[in-house]
Amino acid sequence: MIQIFDQEIPNKMDELTIEQFEKISQILNNQEFDNIEKYVEMFKYLGIKEEMWDDYPFSEFIKLVQDFNLDSYTPNEAVTSIELEGYTYEAKMKLSVKETKLIEKIVNSKPNHYISDIMAIMFKRTDLSNTEHFTDAHLKHKAKLFRTLKAEVCVPYIVFVTEKIAEYAKANAAEGVEPSNA
């Protein structure tokens, strides 16, 4: 946590929820904001009213931004089993075709909540079959549940998924068609 005015603001992966982490990422990646606006907007989301900055020295503001970003986070071992609302959810560090296709679709179409959506795909409720696991309503419900978890849970999965998809894309990038010599 960092202290801003009289408030404690979460800035570490074990302090922020997945929902907060998604929202912060969304704000910081918003091209419509300039660099200052991005952080004013982010702090506003975390509870600091915009007008609080009106008379605040700019150099102090920069210092706060630096402090916020200082979190030298080391990912922990992946949590592979989670209890939520009386059900057990388990995940494996493995990506099937079905999961990859769903993730690709999410990343391309839902940039705002893709982390919780990816978690919903990776974690399966142990008492349900694969058919139920992949239904839209169930995935949506699970994504909502996972948004309440601490962001540190999602890091190993996001790293894993990103690495796997990048590896795949690198190895299988469609090359230009070579003309036939025959």
Helix (H) / strand (E) containing 90: strand 87-90
**Smallest gap from residue 161 Cβ to other proteins (A):** 10
Q: Which stretch binds other proteins (CB under 8 A): 30-38, 42-50, 76-84, 90-98?
A: 90-98
**Smallest gap from residue 131 Cβ to other proteins (A):** 11
Q: What is the dihedral of CA 152, 154, 160, 163, to 10 degrees?
A: -90
- Told to check if 137 binds other proteins by CB under 8 A, we report no
Q: How far apart are CA 95 and CA 161, in angstroms?
A: 8
87 Cβ contact list (under 8 Å, min separation 6): 125, 126, 127
Pick between residue 27 and residue 103 the one whose CB is nearest to other proteins. Answer: 103
Helix (H) / strand (E) containing 53: none
N-to-C CA span, the chain? 67
Contacting residue, 2, 79, 95, 128, with other proteins by CB under 8 A: 95
- Told to check if 178 binds other proteins by CB under 8 A, we report yes
Tokens of 82: 């989670």
- Told to check if 182 binds other proteins by CB under 8 A, we report yes
- Told to check if 108 binds other proteins by CB under 8 A, we report yes
Q: Which stretch binds other proteins (CB under 8 A): 19-27, 110-118, 140-148, 161-169?
A: 161-169
- Told to check if 129 binds other proteins by CB under 8 A, we report no
> Residue 48: how many CA atoms within 13 Å on its side-chain side?
20
Q: Which residues bind other proteins (CB under 8 A)?
A: 94-98, 100-101, 104-105, 108, 164-165, 167-169, 171-180, 182
